[in-house]
Structure 1
């Protein structure tokens, strides 16, 4: 027996049998397969956990997305079927008072806007409008309109001077959307069309160009007082809770709710104080929807030189109105927000113009 055979036999005896290369390979392969099975199981478990993690993440994102409209005030409590925006276009509701020259400019402008399907002038003066004024405005509407079917034009004549008149129901309207505006406020047609498109996405809320806010004032035990914040408050805080009806869209159903469903004590207050009908409308809409309004950032032009806001002690009266209305409601329904709608096209062109001006200025300086 050779030495190599003797070593092989001894090795085989040590391992409990004869040495065999095939057995050795099988043993190694078996160990490797066992480890491979364990590895595959671990990898399967890891994949399962990863899939579970991804599923949970997607569920979380879905939940977050579902809550975004609510946080923006677009997920409204009122049934959407009650505030249809299916009828295209809008009716411009112009509130006027002894400023016929401004009224002529305002009517001529809004008649030229493509989405205008009707223009109603809220007339609350002692004397009715003259035939010459009515004929002039009717002819200007027909001449300025850009649509095949001309807008309906009408004076809504009231027997008494009352700020509540601007929110009286209107019969046989062609549109669901009302654009409420003062006779001295001009909103460019493209800005108006953009705001209307925003309103169509949320027809039960107010969409406007003039934001206002409320501050929490003094707290005395269970009583809390509030302060009315003007434009500079909105600019400083970046928050608002109202858009004024001097330039705002809302659903025509709110005219009936304001006149026939809102507490008479609030309308009586507006009649007595000759102020704050716009705050009353904001509270009404917020009370119904539980949602904030939507501020559209855009250019508006005030062509008048005076109005109620220019009168002495106007701010203090607005503070008082807000607190008195809260007392009548029993709580404050206004919902603050810092969301605003911006037409990115205008922002882009504005930035482009500024950039061109800077380049032109640098070129001129170089010469």
Structure 2
């Protein structure tokens, strides 16, 4: 299905955040939203039954094989749409606009609202971080609020050497799955991500105890970029300059 999208939402012992997120998506009509899949990582608890919202959006729970940040990026044979919105903790604005931008210009790119950059230190090691103020360049879009084509998720899920080693490292450090999918997509397509902004800015719900609040978070992400470079054999993140913003004219 090309004209609709699915939202994949991972959850682990955060019922309040999950309920708030579902209320955000289901409380208003999003024309192209087809289904919400709750990726249930709470392995010792049976997930609730699925249901259909007042706007006709299907909601189902998918039990994970293990508690892994990779689970939302793993291909699901029950998905019915090509576009999968990876979502975690952020409340998006103008989601329909971002989806249509993905269809027209970002179909085989990680397309979303949160751009990030990399640099190299004096030792030649990769460093992950926010893009410098005033810089037009970026090389990653965080996949906790981004569209990814299902075919790219299929490759990410394969048992082949590169995707397997990348997934295993993300599992080992319990971090960096969002960087991993960027790396894999750029490697496959030789293109960078696409930064898209609506008029309404996203809201980070910032749950207490989130991964980004744990000690060593940034050092893990620095190291992930270097590990991924070694696995693939070269750096394949592609620098991008263009962004799309609703209300700003764009010309072909």
Scaled by the length of structure 1, what TM-score is found? 0.62
Q: CA deviation at 1:159?
A: 3.3
* 1:118-137 superposed matches below 5 A: 118-131=35-48, 134=49
Secondary structure of 2:122's partner?
strand
- Given that 1:234 and 1:240 are in contact with CA atoms closer than 8 Å, whether structure 2 keeps it comes out as no
Residue equivalent to 2:188: 288
Secondary structure of 2:125's partner?
strand
RMSD: 1.9
The CA distance in 1 between the partners of 2:212 and 2:37, in whole Å, is 23
Q: CA deviation at 1:289?
A: 0.9
* 1:77-92 superposed matches below 5 A: 87-92=2-7
- Given that 1:212 and 1:234 are in contact with CA atoms closer than 8 Å, whether structure 2 keeps it comes out as no
The CA distance in 2 between the partners of 1:173 and 1:319, in whole Å, is 33
Q: Select 2:211's aligned residue among 305, 308, 315.
A: 308
Scaled by the length of structure 2, what TM-score is found? 0.89
1:322-348 deviations in Å (ceiling 9; x for gaps): 1111111111100112211010179xx
Q: CA deviation at 1:249?
A: 0.5
The CA distance in 2 between the partners of 1:124 and 1:87, in whole Å, is 28
Number of equivalenced pairs: 241
Unpaired stretches in structure 1, ≥5 consecutive residues: 1-85, 347-367
- Point out the structure with max Rg over C-alpha: 1
Bigger RCO (CA 8 Å, 6+ sep): 2
* 1:179-328 superposed matches below 5 A: 179-182=85-88, 184-188=89-93, 191-201=94-104, 202-219=106-123, 224-230=124-130, 233-260=131-158, 261=160, 262-298=162-198, 299-306=201-208, 307-328=210-231
Q: CA deviation at 1:158?
A: 1.2
Q: CA deviation at 1:92?
A: 0.6
Unpaired stretches in structure 2, ≥5 consecutive residues: none
Q: CA deviation at 1:164?
A: 1.4
Q: Between Structure 1 and Structure 2, which shows a larger proportion of helix residues?
A: 1
